[in-house]
Amino acid sequence: MYFDLHTHSVFSDGELIPSEMARRMAEKGVSGFAITDHVDFTNVSWIMERLRELQNWRDEYEVKILFGVEITHVPPELIDRAVEIAWKEGAEIVVVHGETLVEPVKAGTNSAAVESEVNVLAHPGIVDCELADKAKSSGVYLEISTRKGHSLSNGCVAKYWEIAVVNTDTHSPEDIISPEFAEKVCLAAGANSKVLDNNLKLFNRLWKKARR
């Protein structure tokens, strides 16, 4: 069983509409996924308004779907405010775009994220014990990524597998993976395969909250 907590639709920079994402996820054996489109202050309301259009219909789909955002390239000192707005706009999951090795994310983003009310710090790049301890205290999960480039630092994140999740950062059909492949990525990074249990635990908690 696998739940992908980080994907993108056409409403940011993905290639697929949510319905096609759901169909392709089901075909791969994925049990549920979160749409977490890129946002900052300019589009968070618009993104959540679009995604809410599907909330009344999601029970008819083959997989469970959560609707949320990935706060992206927001200055570290403003991340907490962006997170607050995202929750107020109805996000069911909030991810922050971490300090990946392959993009010019501003230093301090990781630290600001784990001190905010977020669920996942995506592709965080270099992780040390201090950051991992803050994430654990805040209940923030660190991402092992299957995406090219972002995955370069998976070995660093894998050391803290107890607070890790494995996500695809799906943008295209070919990014969607099977549960079996997700497990292989964990093992290849040096993490315990129980990381997938973290995906399940977090998804189920957010799903129950969203359905209240």
Total domain count, the chain: 1
- 173-176 CB contacts, 8 Å cutoff, 24+ apart: 173/15, 173/16, 173/24, 175/146, 175/147, 176/4, 176/21, 176/24, 176/25, 176/28, 176/30
Which residues of the chain are under the pLDDT cut of 50? none
Alpha helices in 56-161 (DSSP H): 79-88, 109-114, 129-138, 154-158
- Reference 70, options 39, 91, 44, 42; nearest CA is 39
Contact between 150 and 97 (Cβ < 8 Å):
no
Q: What is the pLDDT of residues 168-194, one digit of tens each?
A: 999 999 999 999 999 999 999 999 999
The pLDDT of residue 164 is 98
Could you tell me if 104 and 74 are in contact, meaning their C-beta atoms sit under 8 angstroms apart? no
For residue 93, give its domain range: 3-210
Q: The whole model's pTM is what? A: 0.97
pLDDT computed for residue 134 by the predictor = 97
pLDDT tens-digit readout, 43-78? 999 999 999 999 999 999 999 999 999 999 999 999
Q: What pLDDT does residue 212 have? A: 79
Q: What angle do CA 25, 27, 32 make, to 5 degrees?
A: 35
Q: Write the CATH number for 202.
A: 3.20.20.140
